[in-house]
Amino acid sequence: MAATVSWKAVQEEAAFVRLRELEGAALTLGLPDSAQALSVLLRRRVDNGVWDWDMFEDCVNTLVLEYSNRDRTYAEGLEILKRMLDKTFEVKRRKGRRMEPFGRMWTVEERSQLDSSLGVLTRALQRVTDAETGVLLAGLGHLMRYETKGAFVRDRIHYWASPSVSSPEEREQLVEDFFTVRTRGNDGRSDATHLRHAVAHAHFRFVKEGAELWDSDLESEKETFRQEYSVMELLEFCNLFEMKLVLAEVYPSLLLAIEDLFSVYKREWQSRK
């Protein structure tokens, strides 16, 4: 569709492509209103040859609100990314440099292998009829997701924060803040991290309809986290964590599309203020 459109600059075409990809991502995130708004915006650009800036602003606001309203942890994760990336973009602008918001990228092979492996687990979970098997499969799924997608997002957050946060410890706390789904341990680390450790070190016991999981400091052996989950609560946790990790890929793409369009249509944007 976009091949027949006339562009003012390559940045505008790149922004269009990113917004089209974001339309699909919005459906993956369960954001139908955002996907529909983006579809209308892009169709108007193709049909009319100009951007509807009011519609563009509505698209951004709809995406943020619809995602944030899905769950409190989504709103908190989005705010962490927004605050961190706003600071980094500002630092880059002051230095006269363009912000590259991605850093490490997935290879096609990595993405295919991961989707295949997690897909097997998802299908297995759909056939589970007993709580113990459900707990084990949900825990294994979280461990795999944490060590792959979670590691990917950890690298990105460190990369994003490094221009404005020099301390590796402070950057790592940003990771833990973003990874937090419901609560933190008494060491300040996220429940996602503690659940990963609990599964990896067999720190769990089965209870009726679920399991109790715990974690402890490796050096002092002091307990840092303990929580009981039903199978359904574990599955909900895994889904919430997955959607937060997806956000870390979707949101920077939106910011880059905004930056690209601003660089091409700077005068138009400034005249609207």
**96 or 66, which is more confident:** 66
Position 230 in a domain: yes
pLDDT class for 1, splitting at 50, 70, 90?
very low
How many angstroms separate the CA atoms of 10 and 260, rounded? 9
Q: Average pLDDT for residues 108-136, to the nearest whole number?
A: 83
Position 34 in a domain: no
pLDDT of residue 86: 83
pLDDT of residue 94: 73
Position 199 in a domain: yes
107 backbone dihedrals φ, ψ, rounded to 5°: -85, 160
Alpha helices, DSSP H only, in the chain? 10-28, 32-48, 53-70, 72-94, 108-126, 131-145, 151-161, 168-179, 191-200, 231-264, 266-271
pLDDT class for 132, splitting at 50, 70, 90?
very high
Q: Which domain holds residue 203?
A: 102-246
Position 25 in a domain: no
Position 127 in a domain: yes
State the pTM of this model.
Answer: 0.87
Position 218 in a domain: yes
| Count of domains observed in the chain | 1
Computed over every residue of the chain, the mean pLDDT equals 89
Position 119 in a domain: yes
pLDDT class for 223, splitting at 50, 70, 90?
very high
pLDDT of residue 2: 44
How many angstroms separate the CA atoms of 133 and 140, rounded? 11
Assess contact for 188 and 129: CB atoms under 8 A.
Answer: no
Position 152 in a domain: yes
Assess contact for 78 and 67: CB atoms under 8 A.
Answer: yes
How many angstroms separate the CA atoms of 116 and 72, rounded? 30
Structure tokens that stand for 185 in this block: 């341990």
